[in-house]
Homo-oligomer: A and B are copies of this chain.
Amino acid sequence: MFEVKIYVHHKASILDPQGEAVLNALHRLSYSQVSSITQGKYFEANIEADSKEAAKEVVESICKDLLVNHNMESFEYELKEVAK
């Protein structure tokens, strides 16, 4: 069994209205120390696979097919084997 943590965020060139809204709200709450903030999606999943390579393939596929909008978002992930 493998556990994966997937971080999905806007590509640098893409406008991030949610991040802008959060930044404005923080500044209204007087958190001027926060100079920038972006908001994305965070997934934790358990994947059954025979090898780390096989688990990696599943992660890349589910990101390509469902979890990530490739026009606007990019992703990173951390994969580790865990006991069943």
Contacts and interface: CB of A to CB of B under 8 A. Distances in A.
A35 B47 contact: yes
A23 to B, nearest CB: 9
Contacts of A41: 39-42
**Copies of this chain in its oligomeric complex:** 2
B42 A8 contact: yes
Chain A interface main SS type = strand
A22 B58 contact: no
A37 B65 CA distance: 15
A45 interface: yes
Interface of A: 1, 5, 7-9, 22, 25-26, 29, 31, 33-49, 58, 61-62, 65-67
